[in-house]
Copies of this chain bind each other. A is one copy, B any other.
Amino acid sequence: MTNSHKPSAQAEHPLTLIPGPVEFTDEVLAAMATPSQSHVSPQFVEVFGDALALLRQLFFNTDKSAQGFAIAGAGTLGWDFVAANLIEPGEEALVLHTGYFADSFAECITTYGGKVTQLKAPIGDVVPLEDVESALMQKKFKLVTITHVDTSTGVLSDIKTLSALIRKVSPETLVIVDGVCSVGVEEIRFDDWDLDLVLTAPQKAIGVPAGLSIFIASGRAIDVFKTRKSPPTSYYASFAKWLPIMQNYEAKKPSYFSTPPVQNIHALLASLKQILSVPLEDRFAAHARMSDRIKSTIASYGLKQVAIREGYQAHGMTAVYLPEGVTLPELLPRIAKRGIVLAGGLHKAIATKYFRIGHMGVSVTDDDRHDFDKALAAIKESFGEAGYIC
């Protein structure tokens, strides 16, 4: 873990302990302030190339037929990349629904002409494997999407088992993982688990300010793209445009389609270097320990998680139901007054009934910050003020 004993260079600010954006390290913020550089300068080509190479490590990827991408945009844009490149109008997609974000991904696929079947789990739960298997046997799906961690519920999907199942029942179906709230905190073995595309955003467990769409695509996914019958249905979110650009930058050759966000890429490299300075297994274990601590403390307060099934709970966030008689406006401002920013609910069906804690990145890995000592104390005191004694 990063046991930084330096005082932070950052101005005093409320601690942002939501499921992204998370707190950033001084080094990452300094990289965001990199003086201007040409996007085709040798200096920047070096930085971008290194960032793309390190990105593979975050996914335990060594198979060079896969390719990492980092493009100006947002996690959301990753859905457009999938929908505009890996499925053609009229083809079928199976969306496994564990919260708010599956509905959005499904809508995105529909926008580009894909036909979506959703398998919806009850709120807080995952879709049973047998339901996935029977759906796969009824129809040929071009791809299946899985939200690794649904930020609206904190439900963690078992992408390893799901991928194995999909590969067994429907070998050609692409396995697409929405890893927005999982990459950098949950184990993802891209090659070993035979995944086809994992998309994410920087402002969660990667610890970089929002502004990038980050994803890795398998050789199989790239082949599916290359053998499309129709051209990609997006211009900006087109593999045809970006694949050669990413390949070139990773080979340390300048290349141009659209000006990359130079400073955000510097910040990505800075954070990847910090993340990969310790074995990823240690990073995951530190997040798991913190998650256990937060979840058991919450339970000791008599509060229940939205994610109901043990083993299917995210390690980078916790969604917590409010107790009877306490509302979000009675709780969150009191916590904010104590310098801690938590998030309200996001899942439409229960949005006013729960709150969310993000526990990812430097707030977890830098023990000296004591961010969650402060946060858990603030939660307890604020509940007390609101009339609920933890």
A72 in complex: contacting residue of B13, B38, B39, B210, CB < 8 Å: B210
- Is A169 interfacial (CB 8 A cutoff)? no
CB A61 to nearest CB in B, in angstroms, measures: 25
State whether A20 touches B259 (Cβ < 8 A).
yes
A32 in complex: contacting residue of B20, B111, B263, B346, CB < 8 Å: B263
State whether A76 touches B210 (Cβ < 8 A).
no
Closest chain B residue to A261, Cβ basis: B211
CB A92 to nearest CB in B, in angstroms, measures: 18
State whether A107 touches B263 (Cβ < 8 A).
no
State whether B29 touches A13 (Cβ < 8 A).
no
- Is A349 interfacial (CB 8 A cutoff)? no
Interfacial chain B residues near A203, Cβ < 8 Å: 259
- Is A274 interfacial (CB 8 A cutoff)? no
Interfacial chain B residues near A107, Cβ < 8 Å: 235
- Is A88 interfacial (CB 8 A cutoff)? no
Q: Is the interface of A mostly helix, strand, loop or mixed?
A: loop
Closest chain B residue to A204, Cβ basis: B259
Q: Which of A32, A112, A212 has the most CB of B within 10 A?
A: A32
Q: For the complex, give the distance between the alpha carbons of A234 and B10 in Å.
A: 38
Q: Which of A37, A75, A258 has the most CB of B within 10 A?
A: A258
State whether B21 touches A35 (Cβ < 8 A).
no
Interfacial chain B residues near A33, Cβ < 8 Å: 29-30, 32-33
State whether B235 touches A39 (Cβ < 8 A).
no
Say which size band chain A's interface belongs to.
35 or more
CB A341 to nearest CB in B, in angstroms, measures: 5
Interfacial chain B residues near A264, Cβ < 8 Å: 209, 211, 261, 264
Q: Which of A245-268 contact B (CB under 8 A)?
A: 256-264
Q: For the complex, give the distance between the alpha carbons of A290 and B183 in Å.
A: 48
Q: For the complex, give the distance between the alpha carbons of A111 and B332 in Å.
A: 46
A235 in complex: contacting residue of B40, B80, B343, CB < 8 Å: B80
State whether A210 touches B261 (Cβ < 8 A).
yes
- As a 0/1 sequence over residues 171 to 198 of chain A, the CB contacts with chain B under 8 angstroms (1 = contact) are 0000000000000000000000000000
Q: For the complex, give the distance between the alpha carbons of A71 and B140 in Å.
A: 36
State whether A233 touches B233 (Cβ < 8 A).
yes
- Is A95 interfacial (CB 8 A cutoff)? no
A21 in complex: contacting residue of B22, B37, B231, CB < 8 Å: B37
State whether B74 touches A236 (Cβ < 8 A).
yes
- As a 0/1 sequence over residues 75 to 108 of chain A, the CB contacts with chain B under 8 angstroms (1 = contact) are 1110110010000000000000000000000011
Given the known inter-chain contacts A32-B32, A79-B235, please indicate yes or no for A38 contacting B13, CB distance below 8 A. Answer: no
Closest chain B residue to A11, Cβ basis: B35
A36 in complex: contacting residue of B24, B73, B83, B201, CB < 8 Å: B24
Closest chain B residue to A260, Cβ basis: B210
- Is A331 interfacial (CB 8 A cutoff)? no
- Is A316 interfacial (CB 8 A cutoff)? no
- Is A23 interfacial (CB 8 A cutoff)? yes
State whether A111 touches B343 (Cβ < 8 A).
no
Closest chain B residue to A12, Cβ basis: B35
Interfacial chain B residues near A16, Cβ < 8 Å: 36-38, 41
Q: For the complex, give the distance between the alpha carbons of A288 and B40 in Å.
A: 27
15 A-B pairs, CB-CB below 8 angstroms?
A: A16-B36, A16-B41, A21-B37, A32-B33, A33-B33, A36-B209, A40-B343, A74-B261, A75-B258, A76-B258, A79-B235, A83-B235, A108-B235, A211-B263, A261-B264
Q: 7 other contacts beyond A74-B259, A211-B211, with CB at 8 A cut-off?
A: A39-B210, A72-B72, A74-B258, A76-B236, A210-B262, A233-B233, A236-B237
Ranked nearest first, the 6 interchain pairs of A and B with the lowest CB-CB distance are A211-B261, A76-B258, A108-B235, A33-B33, A29-B33, A16-B36
